[in-house]
Structure 1
Amino acid sequence: MSTDEDTQPAPRTAPVRLAAGAAEVTVQPDNGCRVGSLRVAGTELLRQGAKYGCFPMVPWCGRIDHGQFRNGGRLHQMPVNAAPHAIHGTGRNLAWRTARTSATQAAFTYDLSDPAAPWPYPGRVTHLVELAEDGGSLTLTMGVEAAADSFPAQAGWHPWFRRNAFGDGADVRLDFAPEWQEERGDDHLPTGRRILPRPGPWDDCFGMPRGVDATLTWPGRLELRVTSRTEWVVVYDEQEAAVCVEPQSGPPNGLNTAPRLVTPIDPLEISMTWSWRELS
């Protein structure tokens, strides 16, 4: 679930570029480790701009109720950046460290105890970006590790796919078949009630217990499939410029309603793959 109220820093160093086949990917480690560009056969598929592309959501996804969550008996307050809530984690606001790169792969990390990231537990986040050797798919994998105390966490991605990427007036079509939709309250948080999926436009979370599987089709041009083993996906298509399909490890406000504890021996890991084929 999304907002335009936040602002993002501009990249301070050159991005990391990956290329294979007809695909080119750029990653901006200094701008929240977002995938800033995905070009297939010369066409940019991601909305451009400092806060767009595809950014990691970590150590939580979507909104936290009034920015607060509990871990056992301890109440923590995160910065409210989508009043009255906190949204999309802290990782997208940080400069990540580039751990390694090759022609088609790159790995990045940041410490949860980074002074610029107000997270109360030490640990590390890793983001692996892998472009297939044939240039036909991109896989993103994120891991969250605890260094000491256990804590609840989430991870996922927020891509902004261009609605009319080919400039021919044909908007992208989204096809997916969720088993349920999380009812959204007036406060933009799930109420805890699961309902039958409703027609869009959406800023909503859906359940796909057999794994996220969604297809974006630019008619006559390109088909892009989003897959992930996780069962949660947020779809945001209320803006004219882009459509967002966001696999994530739990629902919005999940630190409170469906906490997944990360421990020193049980990290959180999530992966997502985009695969595409040209239609013309």
Structure 2
Amino acid sequence: MTPRTFQLSAGDLEATVEPAFGGRVTAFRRSGVDLFVPVAGRRGDPAKAGAGGCFPLVPWSNRIRDGRLTHDGRIIELVPTETGGSSAIHGHGRRISWRVLGDGGTSSVRMSYMFPAGEEGWPFSYVADQTVSLSEDALSITLSVENSSSSPMPAGLGLHPYLPRTPEMGLWFSAASAWPPVDGKLPSGPEPVPSELDFSEPRPVVLGLDQGFGGWDGSVHAIWPEHGVGLGIHGGAALGHLIVFTPPDRDYVCLEPVSHCIDADNLAARGVAGTGHRLLEPGERLAVIVRFQVEVF
């Protein structure tokens, strides 16, 4: 059976959602202008999907150092999933075929998956749920995780969108701290935001970043003057961190609203404050909403 693809449309906006392909939004555009880098190529294993679209980060975001975390006095060994590296990266959701729960026609789709304890070394069972909806001015994604284990589970959420990088592209957002990588791609803790990374006013993209910002105020804006359009990414209070990835040799920028810093579990175990690390009690649910607001000028 061919996996279902959902084509959403509202006004000048269009989005493509592929639940079986890691629950990913594989295209988002306005009047033919891409706001997400579209996913190209044939569909296969979602675990091997390349850059593009926007995928869910669940039940954690970004890297867990060497696939190991300390929990309740014991070491949990996870399967390394970082390409060319030793870390466990971006959770499970992007590599799983999600089951469609609700079809809202051209306006929304709801999907879910159940994760069994022990898979990939993760000793907790949980249920993830995601709803993607489109209105005439925004794409909205609601993402949640519920601990279905009998013991507390470390958990975090986020989204990983790929935005096209153009010569005139600009960014702005406010954050209270920077979490620079000091050991490969992993931070050791928060630092004051340096002037060269102060995006509180609009400025051009700074290339070569792969780091987080803490105390994020919940809004980040990208603007493409060439196209007369911008995109405001707005998250709620549960999303207090923003990961900014601007590889100089790629034609995209990633602005990732997330609930915790990179390697949060291990940093919190060392006593680092402000990581966003949290535990879900059995039956407890964590939910976030992110709105990708189209701004025309």
TM-score category of the 2 structures, normalised to the smaller one: 0.7 to 0.9
In structure 2, relative to structure 1, the CA distance for the partners of 1:108 and 1:114 (3 Å cut) is farther
Conservation of the 8 A alpha-carbon contact between 1:94 and 1:117: no
In structure 1, C-alpha distance between the alignment counterparts of 2:118 and 2:101, rounded to whole Å: 20
Counterpart position of 2:142: 141
Is residue 241 from structure 1 mapped to residue 251 from structure 2 by the alignment? yes
- Asked if residue 196 in structure 1 is aligned to residue 193 in structure 2, the reply is yes
User: How far, CA to CA, are the matches of 2:168 and 2:88 in structure 1?
Assistant: 31
Q: Is the 8 A contact 1:112 1:119 kept in 2?
A: no
CA contact (8 A) 1:91 1:117 kept: no
Task: Tell me if structure 2 keeps the 8 A contact 1:215–1:224.
Answer: yes
Displacement of 1:131 in angstroms is: 1.2
Whole-angstrom CA distance in 1 between matches of 2:115 and 2:280 = 13
Paired residues, number: 261
Asked if the contact 2:59/2:156 (under 8 Å) is kept, the reply is: yes
Amino acid of the structure 2 residue aligned with 1:141: T
Q: Map 1:166-181; keep pairs closer than 5 Å.
A: 170-181=167-178
1:264 to 265, 282, 286: 282
> Residue 23 of structure 2 is aligned with which of 30, 33, 47?
33
1:231 aligns with 2:249: no
% identical equivalent positions: 28
1:88 matches 2:90:
yes
Kept in 2: contact 1:131–1:139 (CA 8 A) = yes
Partner secondary structure for residue 265 of structure 2: helix
Superposed, 1:20-169 pairs within 5 Å as 20-49=10-39, 50-51=49-50, 52-82=52-82, 83-102=85-104, 103-113=106-116, 118-132=121-135, 135-148=136-149, 149-164=151-166
**Residue 218 of structure 2 is aligned to residue 212 of structure 1:** yes
Whole-angstrom CA distance in 2 between matches of 1:43 and 1:114 = 42
What are the Cα deviations for residues 23-74 of structure 1, in whole angstroms up to 9, with x where unaligned? Answer: 1111111111011000111222222334321111111111101111122023
Over aligned residue pairs, what C-alpha RMSD do you find? 2.0
8 A Cα contact 2:129 2:143, kept in partner: yes
Instruction: Find out whether 1:276 has 2:294 as its counterpart.
Output: yes
Are residues 12 and 152 of structure 1, via their aligned partners in 2, closer, same or farther at CA, if it must alter by over 3 Å? farther
Q: CA deviation at 1:15?
A: 1.4
Residue 22 of structure 2 contacts residue 93 of structure 2 at CA under 8 Å; is this kept in 1? Answer: yes
Give, in angstroms, the shift of residue 126 of structure 1.
Answer: 0.4
Letter paired with 1:172: M
Deviation at residue 195 of structure 1 after TM alignment: 2.6
The residue matched to 1:255 in structure 2 has which SS?
helix
User: Structure 1 CA distance, aligned partners of 2:183 and 2:147?
Assistant: 34
List runs of 5+ in structure 2 lacking aligned partners: 40-48, 198-205, 269-274
1:184 aligned to 2:181?
A: yes
The alpha-carbon distance between structure 1 residues 234 and 12, as it changes in their structure 2 partners (threshold 3 A), is farther
**Aligned-pair CA distance for 1:233:** 0.4
1:101-125 CA-partner distances (Å, limit 9, x unpaired): 1121111101121886553211100
More moved, 11-20 vs 187-196: 11-20
Measured in 2, the distance between the counterparts of 1:205 and 1:267 equals 25
Q: TM-score, normalised by structure 2?
A: 0.82
TM-score, scaled to structure 1: 0.87
Q: Is the 8 A contact 1:145 1:263 kept in 2?
A: no
Q: Give the whole-Å Cα distance in 2 for the aligned partners of 1:269 and 1:96.
A: 17
